[in-house]
Structure 1
Amino acid sequence: MKDKLNIALIIGSTRQARLAPKVAQWLHGVASQRPDMNVELVDLKEFDLPLFDEKASNLWMPSEDARASAWQDKIGEFDGYLVTVGEYNHSMTGALKNAFDQAYVEWGRKPIGFAGYGGVGGARAVEHARNVAVELQMVPVRTAVHIAGGDFYALYQGAKTLPEIEANLLPAAGAMLDELAWWGQATRAARRRDADQAIAAAAAAA
């Protein structure tokens, strides 16, 4: 398929004992089978982001820290996002919240889907992440992957692997990716239209 969507699959945890890379690798394998998107793993651990300490969001002024600018440049490459969301004390990881806060312009008007994990499938953390995404002018898709209950504990304790439990996850993963692709195509077309209109307006005013 021509003009595939470029999707970032963000590994949303940075601690040493994290489960996130296993979840991300599995979801990457599923998403990479689709003909309508290219999916790239983006690991927060590789970006060494400081805690947000800018004078303002980059909606209002450029960031001063080069690490924040590098993060913005990276996420700005993509048409949409998938994010692994571990539930820590009923919310997302601090590293993921900080990564959201370190940009604004680059997130806007793009879809985002979540793969949550925890005792209740990361549901509370995913809901918090969706609220943040809305404030960043993103489009959170309805369906998420939730690795919950016995599946989560078997995976966390090493008793099972993701391929062994994926039958429980694939229906949600497929629906989430379908929604991400639909919104990805729609929002990209709208962003391109807006950019063309801005260029035309600037040319007319010159």
Structure 2
Amino acid sequence: MTKRVLVIMGSVRAGRLCPAITQWVSTVGQDKTNLAIEIIDLAEWPLPMDDEPGLPALGLYKQPHSKAWSEKVAQADGFVFVTPQYNWGYTAVLKNAIDHCYLEWKGKPLMIVTYGGHGGGKCAAQLCQVADGLKMRPVFPMPAITLSNAMIRENAPLDEVTFEAALSSVQDGWTALAESLSSST
């Protein structure tokens, strides 16, 4: 049976680079693995903060959007978070999406792909701690894509040189994710 992986975009800002980077990461995954890959844009998943009366760990969701998100996450076998590094951390929208569930993440492998002017290692470290708390299984490497100042501040197009520099690490991440998924059966 083909394993399902959700590739979750961790940015909803206007003018974001996340869709292009996520599409590229997903294409690398499709070329490298036999996984069923679905891109999730958090901009299409409105998840208001703190609007559930109970704890996510109990799984007793009342809001329709929480129930739908829970079902989407539960159906996946593994995940890839693609997120920018903001002020040495990861985005609030990604944290909120993660915190809307609990048991749905448990035991599932996760590849973390970060990007930014410094690549995103601090962001990845924070996400790794959260994943450990959720009993997820982060895989290594955790690719970090370094963007130029022009790409970040002037909306210069992403170039092949940027992607080529990260290609090996992203391919290795997909290989590790696929191996983790195959060992969990």
Q: TM-score, normalised by structure 2?
A: 0.92
SS in 2 for 1:82: strand
Structure 2: runs of 5 or more not aligned: none
Tell me, in whole angstroms, the C-alpha distance in 1 between the residues paired with 2:119 and 2:16: 15
Question: How many residue pairs were aligned?
Answer: 184
| Aligned counterparts of 1:53 and 1:129: Cα–Cα separation in 2 | 23
Contact conserved, 1:84 with 1:115, CA < 8 A, in 2? yes
1:119 to 113, 117, 120: 117
**3-state SS of 1:59 partner:** helix
Q: 2:95 maps to which residue?
A: 97
Q: SS at 2:40's partner residue?
A: strand
Residues 8 and 152 of structure 1, relative CA distance in 2, 3 Å threshold: farther
**Rounded Cα–Cα distance in structure 2 between residues aligned with 1:61 and 1:158:** 41
1:154: how far off? 4.4
Q: TM-score, normalised by structure 1?
A: 0.83
What is the CA distance between 1:39 and its match in structure 2? 0.8
Structure-1 residue corresponding to 2:133:
135
Return the offset for 1:135: 0.8
CA root-mean-square deviation: 1.6
Question: In structure 2, what is the equivalent of residue 179 of structure 1?
Answer: 176
Distance 1:175 1:186 in 2: 16
Q: Which has the larger radius of gyration?
A: 1
With over 3 angstroms needed to count, the CA separation of the structure-2 counterparts of 1:185 and 1:162, relative to structure 1, is: farther
CA-to-aligned-CA distance 1:48-99 (integer Å, 9 cap, x gap): 1111332333322411111111111111111100111111121110000000
124-133 or 153-162, larger mean C-alpha shift: 153-162
Contact 1:52 1:101 in 2 (8 A): no
Moved over 6 A (4+): none
Question: Percent of pairs identical after alignment?
Answer: 29
Cross-structure match for 2:60: 62
